[in-house]
Structure 1
Amino acid sequence: MLDRRRLLGLAAALTLGACATGPSIHADYDRSVDFSSFHTFSLASDTPQPGAPPLTWQRVSDAINRTLQARGFTRSDTPDFAVGFTLGKRDRIETWNYGPYYAGWGQWGGGPWGPSQTQVRTITEGTLTIDVFDAKTRRPVWSGTATQRLSGPVSQAEIDAAVTSVLAKFPPGSTQ
């Protein structure tokens, strides 16, 4: 159990890691919802998800609070909407083969110029998903996701940037 918790903790800590390019951002929403009626919010949970490092979870939670308040929303005990989030990571393997003719530019009429080369590497991607729920109906109404290649420990600035990038698409049609 401890090894699994450490692995999940590491995953969450690296979720928003530094990368030369910014995260890929995607959002989706319920088109029947009138988002103009959303003015107050609360967090859906005050407890970190299982396996998430409490400090990382708190940093993301704080970033969501700051970002929504900067956008004009007010935190409330009787909110119009609730915000939840999850942190995750996955490893994927990339392979590519250059083939025997890759380096053969100098031998137009001959056979292969060199041996085939195959390269394999493991890529770790982190994901932050922020979900918005209608507080009255408790139904999901909006979801935004940031996915980024991870390369090391995550700073508060990187967390803030990822949260800001995702929430820039909330509410739908906003200009911020």
Structure 2
Amino acid sequence: MNRIKLLIISALVIFMAGCASNPTEVNFDQNPKINTSNYKTFAWLNESKILESSSGVNPVTEAEVSNSIQEAFIAKGYKLISDPEKADFTISYTIGSRDKIKVNSYPTPYYGGFGWGRGYYGARGYYGAMGMGSETTVRQYTQGKLAIDVYDVKTHQPVWHGWATKRLSSDEQSATAAEINSVVKEVVASFQ
């Protein structure tokens, strides 16, 4: 009996931990026509470093993101130079958040429980008068996004676009430097 209780408690703890954290989704797209194997140097596309941000983004956060991106490319072995025209590639980024709404509608049986009998399909057809209703839930959340772009200096073509999105809880609206570094490293890791 103790093993069953322990198993149930362990499963609940794992489930609660999974529900409590919103995973960061990271992805990228690369231009296959441009060879990046000879890249050695990079520069920022423009002096402000950021290409665009949504209103309300904290300038301290912008500075932290800029520094994290720069350090992530340096950690991959690329050298930062000040003149974009002399670099192999240039980088820029966008950052922002968007309020979103998610609506889910689930069928609910008319009778108190879930079953396959008369209450589920109804007496007068597939979804008859005594059949199914629906239960609707509405959730509002904020989705944060960071996108990093790489451009080839010689061809002036986009080379790579990496991004991370995450549902932000109210506690995560202002990220710490460690959280920013972690997300940036994960995005830049896919650049080759």
Aligned Cα root-mean-square deviation (Å): 2.4
The amino acid that maps onto 2:41 is T
Structure 2 CA distance, aligned partners of 1:115 and 1:137?
59
Q: Does 1:99 align with 2:99?
A: no
Deviation at 1:116, TM superposition (A): 4.3
Aligned to 2:175: 154
What is the percentage of aligned positions where both structures have the same residue?
35
Higher strand share: 2
Runs of 4+, deviation exceeding 3 Å: 48-52, 106-116
Deviation at 1:92, TM superposition (A): 2.0
1:26 and 1:106, CA in 2 relative to 1: closer, same or farther beyond 3 A?
A: closer
Structure 1 CA distance, aligned partners of 2:45 and 2:75?
19
Deviation at 1:82, TM superposition (A): 0.5
For 1:161-172, what aligned pairs fall within 5 Å after superposition? 161-171=182-192
Structure with larger Rg: 2
Deviation at 1:139, TM superposition (A): 1.8
1:80 and 1:109, CA in 2 relative to 1: closer, same or farther beyond 3 A?
A: same
Deviation at 1:113, TM superposition (A): 9.8
- Per the normalisation by structure 1, the TM-score is 0.76
Deviation at 1:148, TM superposition (A): 0.8
1:116 and 1:137, CA in 2 relative to 1: closer, same or farther beyond 3 A?
A: closer
Structure 2 CA distance, aligned partners of 1:80 and 1:124?
36
Deviation at 1:107, TM superposition (A): 8.2
Q: Secondary structure at the match of 2:68?
A: helix
Q: Secondary structure at the match of 1:104?
A: coil
- Per the normalisation by structure 2, the TM-score is 0.70
Deviation at 1:22, TM superposition (A): 3.0
Q: Is the 8 A contact 2:109 2:132 kept in 1?
A: yes
> Where does the alignment leave 5 or more consecutive residues of structure 2 unmatched?
1-19, 123-129
